[in-house]
Amino acid sequence: MIRTIAAAASVTLALAPVAAQDEADLEPPLVVAVVAHPDDELFMAPALAALAREGHFVRIVHATPGDAGPGVSNLPKGAALAETRRAEADCSGKALGVSEVVNLGIPDGKLADHVRDGSLAKALHDHLAWADVVLTWGPDGGYGHADHRLVSAIATQMVQAQPEGDRAALFYVAIPAGRLPPVAEMQDWAMTDPKLLAEGIAYTPADLAAARAAAMCHVTQFPEASREGMMGLFDAAMWRGRVHFRKAF
């Protein structure tokens, strides 16, 4: 369901503060960020904080709890790790100020099976039908992770099937070419021609601080030094005050 085209457009173009919308458009757009794993939201974290601060209802949907690891925890694969990562995702969402964090509960590493049998699409359906704006990985999946690509592809497949006038605005998060963070681990991440990245969500220092707090929640995913430095690194190298997106269609 799309509340109004105009409301979605206000997010599309400038992610204008809610107060700047037309009086007839009092309902702020409903934003759904669809990603594969707890911690994937960090790749767009200050944008989510900015949207929440501006009054948008923001829901983060993780497809899997990430129960296969490995990350940096000593927990074995399985239920305890899933539980811990769900809690870390909730912590991250709270730090960002978003309205809801939802986990579809699909076992980690099994997304492809759930694409084939239609259950991932079924689990995502209501979230995408409800959204005015959908944010997800690009077709590259960031560094090519198959589950990132799958989630992006399914979200795209479902949104493109929505009828005109009732279709969410779909955006892929991306790194502009030439802006890879200068760390060895990220040199194989995908980049996008900046000319394609017409959309962006600007953030404030407070939004970036919220993103830093969100990163600190993901204790089982990264060493402490990485959690502390990650958002500053992304800010300095690739975001520079604005998380970059491409409108899918």
What residue ranges bind Zn ion (CB under 5 A)? 36-37, 40
With respect to Zn ion, which residue has the nearer C-beta, 4 or 226?
226
Q: How far is the CB of 41 from Zn ion (least distance, A)?
A: 10
Report which residue's Cβ sits closest to Zn ion. 37
Report which DSSP code applies to 66: -
SS (H, E, C) 34-63: EECCCCHHHHHHHHHHHHHHCCCEEEEEEC
Cβ at position 121, least distance to Zn ion in Å: 19
CB of 104 to Zn ion, least distance (A): 14
Q: Name the residue nearer to Zn ion (CB basis): 10 or 152.
A: 152
What's the CA dihedral at 172, 236, 38, 189 to 10 degrees?
60
User: Cβ closer to Zn ion: 145 or 246?
Assistant: 145
> What are the residues whose beta carbons fall under 8 Å from the beta carbon of 26, sequence distance 6 or more?
none
Q: How far is the CB of 181 from Zn ion (least distance, A)?
A: 16
- 37/167 with CB nearer Zn ion: 37
Residue 37 or 53 with smaller CB distance to Zn ion: 37
Q: Strand pairing partners for 173?
A: 137, 245
CA angle 6, 200, 13 (to 5 degrees): 20
In whole angstroms, the minimum distance from the beta carbon of 53 to Zn ion comes to 25
